[in-house]
Amino acid sequence: MTAYTATVTVSLKGGVLDPEAETTQQALERLGFELETLRSADRYEVDLDAASAEAAADRAESMAERLLANPTIHDYQVSVAEREPGDDETATDSEPAAGES
């Protein structure tokens, strides 16, 4: 078995109201930021062991379909990256984002 991190990003489908994004966009505009649109999304990172990247992706898709996303209002994307066993963070999260310490 190989260790993987599956990232599932869940967002609202086009045409579905996104009050969180609307409120955040208004606040950003009040702060002087110019933007056309803003959409919110939830991101889940799942560490798992699987026989292959395809098997890990299949398991993550099953999680999204059964619990993480509501297919009526959500779209989702799944990506999978191999990780070293025992790693607590993925390579993309090894450096703090701006504003984080």
Tens-place pLDDT, residues 83-101: 986 676 544 444 444 555 4
- Quick one: DSSP state of residue 35? -
What average pLDDT does the chain have? 90
pLDDT of residue 95: 45
Location of structure tokens 């990247």: 53
Give me the domains of the chain, ranges plus CATH numbers: 2-86 (3.30.1280.10)
Distance between alpha carbon 65 and the CA centroid of its chain, in Å? 14
**What whole-number distance in Å separates Cα of residue 76 and Cα of residue 25?**
22
Distance between alpha carbon 66 and the CA centroid of its chain, in Å? 16
pLDDT of residue 90: 46
Q: What is the pLDDT of residues 34-53, one digit of tens each?
A: 999 999 999 999 999 999 99
Give pTM, 2 decimals: 0.80
Other Cβ atoms within 10 Å of 32 Cβ, number: 6
Cα dihedral sign, 53-58-60-61:
positive
β-bridge pairing 74-82 and 2-12: antiparallel
